[in-house]
Amino acid sequence: MAAAPSQAVPPSRPGRRLWRRLTLWVLLLVACLAVAAFAWRWAENAAIERLRLSGAQRLDGYALSLENLLAKYDFLPGTLELNKDVIALLQKPGDDALRGEVNEYLEKVNRLSKSTTIYIVNLQGVTQAASNWREPDSFVGDDVSFRPYVRDALRREPGGFYGVGTTRGEPGYFFAHGIYHNGRMLGVATVKVNIEKLEKGWVQGADKVLLTDAHGVVFLTSVPEWKYRTLAPLEPEVRRELEASRQYFSHALTPLGMRETGRTDGGAGIVTVSDAGPRLTMLSQSRSLAPRKWRFVYLSDLAPARASARNVFLFACLAQALLVMLVLYTRQRRRLGRQRLRAREDLQRAYDNLETMVAERTSSLQQMTHNLSEENIVRRKAEQKLRQAQSELVQAAKMAVLGQMSAGITHELNQPLTALRTMADNARVLIERDRLDEAKTNLATISQLVARMGLITGQLRQFARKADASPRAVPVAAAITAALFLVERRVERERVNFRMSMRGQDVHALCDSNRLEQVLVNLFTNALDAMAGSETRELTVAVERTDDRVMIGVADSGPGIPEDIRAHLFEPFFTTKPQGQGLGLGLAISEQIVREFGGVLRVEAGAGGGVSGGAKFIIELPLAEQETIDV
Ligand code: ADP
């Protein structure tokens, strides 16, 4: 059978939620980055625009100051032909006196106009007079016909030229103008002006200013290392021409390595200069100085603008992160608030439930308490009835013992009664026969017999009395004697050897004397019953005491108690005696009596507990404290 096509398991609900949340976060991150990037771009453009405007302003300022400076000297060469000596010297070049005159004149004009040098050249290009005539490297006699400004002037064109001096290598701007007399050119007047001092005012922070000639050779700049370098490599013929005119003396004119990498919206160029040192990226603005074919270039450093744009980007990121965090925080707070409200409601509900439960429980507890108190009353009544029944049972058992003893007691009383009747008859006969002494003796015996009978009945009455079971100090020896008195006749008749041992005579137990006698009579009777068929009949009572207990041991020389009977000894109605002789209540009631007084009735373990293998019972009772004993 073909396997069923496997079906794609749809993602679980929490999984879908997680995905959705993840996608949202990614989108939010992208949006934040886009905003930050936009801010970056905007800040960069704004900073560049500011740079451009300030650069343009500076550029205008610099160009104007240069133009002004040059304009000041434009007219000067033309005015020199107004001097007659100058004209005369050019007409008579050999007149040294005249030359001296002109030299001094030029020197004076040069000083007043603050130009560098002023000199007069003849049509062959040889200097006839110069303001620096006093100096050792004076221009006088120099051939400057190769200089372009001289050639231009000789061609009747106004000569304007920036170049490095061939004598001292000092740069300057050369103004040249033809000297005419009556419309005929006699020579050329030249004024050299130092414009290098302008450079000093151009240095503005990291910005750079360049002035280049028509070939792109930098001849004035705020960066000394860039001087006499070119913006682009020179064409070979240009280089040859420059070398011929010695415009830049012996400078190598190597390229600067400037490259335009882009343009701004405002039309400025972005250029990189990778000359020695770190690569610079700059905003380039230029302006041409038309009549001289020069170009002014103003380069603004882009690094601060870019750094501030970067800072704007970082700030935008930070601000957005803060905003997101604020939103999250507000949401979290709101959620927490809702949770707290829910928790408070739950708590209130639980509290209400608890109150209801407590009320219910309280009422059921009250009901239970009520029931309990009713039960208590019932129980107390039952206990009372039980105690009454127990007491009646004890009394009944006592009566049973008395019943058992009644035959012996009757015999005990019958004997003296018979003797009494005989002795009374005898006494009457003896009195009739006037045997008064014998009659007196008889009467004395009668009196003794009556006293003895009174003692017996007294003991019986005492035993039969209903006792209240409140414990008091009972002299143990007296209780044993009283109990023994009740069974004395049997002991004598059945020739039982009775022994009693007691350490100290005044041992008192905390119980009731009547009840203790009842227990003892019971144990004695059982012992006598057990020894009925025994050869030796010994009944031993031993009293011992510890710090707080009294132990009365009752041992006999009967057959002892077998193990199977021992287990049931204290059960009510357990008896091994023939019907009519035993009720099986003796030990059960005795045990209960002893327990009621805080004692224990127990049978000694093992077959040999008693005398010669008989039984031995021990009554253990609390010892009466000395202060409870009635003196
Ligand atoms: P009853 O004497 O009426 O039988 P008891 O409770 O006094 O009731 O005794 C229960 C049984 O315990 C007796 O029937 C007897 O078998 C046994 N018994 C009690 N004392 C002795 C004893 N000293 N020697 C042997 N057996 C005993």
> How much is the pLDDT for 347?
92
Q: Residue 98 — pLDDT band, cuts 50, 70, 90?
A: very high
From the alpha carbon of 583, which atom of ligand 1 is closest?
3
- Top-confidence residue, 247 or 240: 240
Which of 467, 490, 517 terminates a domain? The answer is 467
Q: What is the dihedral of CA 333, 339, 340, 342, to 10 degrees?
A: 150
The pair of three-digit structure tokens given for residue 422, joined into one six-digit string: 């005989």
In a domain, 261, yes or no: no
C-alpha to C-alpha distance for 70 and 64, rounded to whole angstroms: 10
From the alpha carbon of 556, which atom of ligand 1 is closest?
23
Q: Are residues 431 and 551 in the same domain?
A: no
Q: What is the Å distance from ligand 1's center to 468 Cα?
A: 26
Distances (CA, A) of 342 to 332, 333, 335, 350: 15, 14, 10, 12
Q: Is 87 exposed, middle or buried (0-12, 13-18, 19+ CB in 10 A)?
A: buried
Phi/psi for 165 (5° steps) reads -60, 140
Q: In the structure, which protein residues have their CB atom closer than 6 angstroms to any atom of ligand 1?
A: 522, 526-527, 530, 556, 558, 561, 565, 569, 574-577, 582-584, 586-588, 615
From the alpha carbon of 574, which atom of ligand 1 is closest?
10
Nearest CA to ligand 1 atom 7: 586
From the alpha carbon of 575, which atom of ligand 1 is closest?
14
Q: What is the Å distance from ligand 1's center to 537 Cα?
A: 16
Which of 411, 443, 467 terminates a domain? The answer is 467
Which range has the worst mean pLDDT, 60-69, 156-165, 398-407? 398-407
When computed from its CA atoms, the radius of gyration of the chain, rounded to whole angstroms, is: 77
From the alpha carbon of 589, which atom of ligand 1 is closest?
6
Q: What is the Å distance from ligand 1's center to 525 Cα?
A: 9
Q: What is the Å distance from ligand 1's center to 576 Cα?
A: 7
In a domain, 43, yes or no: no
The pair of three-digit structure tokens given for residue 246, joined into one six-digit string: 């010695």
405, 574, 587: which to mutate for ligand 1, most atoms within 8 A of CB? 587
Question: What angle separates helix 586-596 from helix 303-432, to the nearest 10 degrees?
Answer: 120
For the chain, the domain total comes to 3
Q: At which residue do the structure tokens 């805080």 appear?
A: 598
> How much is the pLDDT for 204?
61
From the alpha carbon of 582, which atom of ligand 1 is closest?
3
Nearest CA to ligand 1 atom 21: 526
C-alpha to C-alpha distance for 476 and 544, rounded to whole angstroms: 10
Is the confidence at residue 65, as pLDDT, over 80? yes
- Strand, coil or helix: 358: helix
Is the confidence at residue 107, as pLDDT, over 80? yes
> Cβ(81)–Cβ(87) under 8 Å?
yes
> How much is the pLDDT for 4?
45
> How much is the pLDDT for 2?
41
Q: What is the Å distance from ligand 1's center to 513 Cα?
A: 23
Q: Are residues 484 and 615 in the same domain?
A: yes
The pair of three-digit structure tokens given for residue 461, joined into one six-digit string: 């009455």
- Sign, CA torsion 255/256/257/263: negative
Nearest CA to ligand 1 atom 19: 526
Q: Are residues 410 and 427 in the same domain?
A: yes
Containing domain of residue 507, as a range?
469-628
In a domain, 2, yes or no: no
Q: What is the Å distance from ligand 1's center to 165 Cα?
A: 161
**138-168 confidence digits (pLDDT tens):** 889 888 888 888 888 888 887 778 888 777 7
Q: Are residues 190 and 143 in the same domain?
A: yes
> Cβ(205)–Cβ(128) under 8 Å?
no
> How much is the pLDDT for 220?
86
Region 413-422: what's the mean pLDDT? 85
494, 524, 526, 566: which to mutate for ligand 1, most atoms within 8 A of CB? 526
Q: Are residues 482 and 599 in the same domain?
A: yes
Which range has the worst mean pLDDT, 35-49, 189-203, 325-339, 516-530? 189-203
C-alpha to C-alpha distance for 558 and 269, rounded to whole angstroms: 142
In a domain, 147, yes or no: yes
Q: Are residues 601 and 533 in the same domain?
A: yes
Q: Are residues 457 and 583 in the same domain?
A: no
**251-307 confidence digits (pLDDT tens):** 888 888 888 888 888 788 999 887 767 788 889 998 888 777 889 899 888 888 889
> Cβ(171)–Cβ(162) under 8 Å?
yes
> Cβ(190)–Cβ(175) under 8 Å?
yes
Nearest CA to ligand 1 atom 3: 582
The CATH number assigned to the domain holding 170 equals 3.30.450.20
In a domain, 447, yes or no: yes
Residues 6+ apart with CB under 8 A from 443: 427
The pair of three-digit structure tokens given for residue 441, joined into one six-digit string: 């003796």
Q: Are residues 482 and 619 in the same domain?
A: yes
> Cβ(217)–Cβ(226) under 8 Å?
no
For residue 19, the surrounding DSSP H or E stretch is helix 13-74
Q: At which residue do the structure tokens 């707070």 appear?
A: 333
For residue 159, the surrounding DSSP H or E stretch is strand 159-164
> How much is the pLDDT for 457?
81
Identify the CA nearest to 481 among candidates 453, 455, 500, 461.
500
Nearest CA to ligand 1 atom 18: 526
The pair of three-digit structure tokens given for residue 295, joined into one six-digit string: 């170009």
- Strand, coil or helix: 129: strand
Which of 194, 229, 246 terminates a domain? The answer is 194
> Cβ(553)–Cβ(538) under 8 Å?
no
Q: Are residues 478 and 517 in the same domain?
A: yes
> How much is the pLDDT for 276?
63
> How much is the pLDDT for 523?
95
Q: Are residues 502 and 421 in the same domain?
A: no
Q: Residue 5 — pLDDT band, cuts 50, 70, 90?
A: very low
472 forms beta bridges with 511
Does pTM top 0.85 for this prediction? no
From the alpha carbon of 581, which atom of ligand 1 is closest?
3
Q: What is the mean pLDDT of the chain?
A: 86
C-alpha to C-alpha distance for 611 and 492, rounded to whole angstroms: 19
Distances (CA, A) of 123 to 79, 118, 154, 185, 267: 18, 17, 7, 8, 48
Region 372-376: what's the mean pLDDT? 92
**429-482 confidence digits (pLDDT tens):** 999 999 889 899 989 989 888 887 887 787 777 777 666 667 899 999 999 999
C-alpha to C-alpha distance for 57 and 54, rounded to whole angstroms: 5
> How much is the pLDDT for 100?
93
Is the confidence at residue 8, as pLDDT, over 50? yes
Nearest CA to ligand 1 atom 16: 576
Is the confidence at residue 68, as pLDDT, over 80? yes
In a domain, 127, yes or no: yes
In a domain, 305, yes or no: no
Region 71-78: what's the mean pLDDT? 88
Q: What is the Å distance from ligand 1's center to 590 Cα?
A: 12
The CATH number assigned to the domain holding 536 equals 3.30.565.10
Q: Residue 605 — pLDDT band, cuts 50, 70, 90?
A: low
Nearest CA to ligand 1 atom 4: 575
Kindly report the number of other CB atoms within 10 A of residue 210's CB atom: 25
- Top-confidence residue, 304 or 581: 304
Identify the CA nearest to 237 among candidates 245, 229, 227.
245
List of E strands, 194-251: 208-212, 218-221
Identify the CA nearest to 461 among candidates 519, 517, 541.
517
Nearest CA to ligand 1 atom 12: 569
The pair of three-digit structure tokens given for residue 166, joined into one six-digit string: 């061939």
Q: Are residues 417 and 550 in the same domain?
A: no
Phi/psi for 146 (5° steps) reads -80, -10
Nearest CA to ligand 1 atom 10: 575
**610-626 confidence digits (pLDDT tens):** 555 789 999 999 999 76
Helix locations, 550-602, DSSP H: 563-566, 586-596
522, 531, 575, 616: which to mutate for ligand 1, most atoms within 8 A of CB? 575
Q: At which residue do the structure tokens 């009945």 appear?
A: 457
Q: Which amino acid is at 596?
A: E
In a domain, 222, yes or no: no
For the residues of 243-294, what is the DSSP string, one character each? HHHTTTTT----B--EEEEEE-TTS-EEEEE-SSSS-EEEEEEEEEEGGGTE
Q: Are residues 451 and 480 in the same domain?
A: no
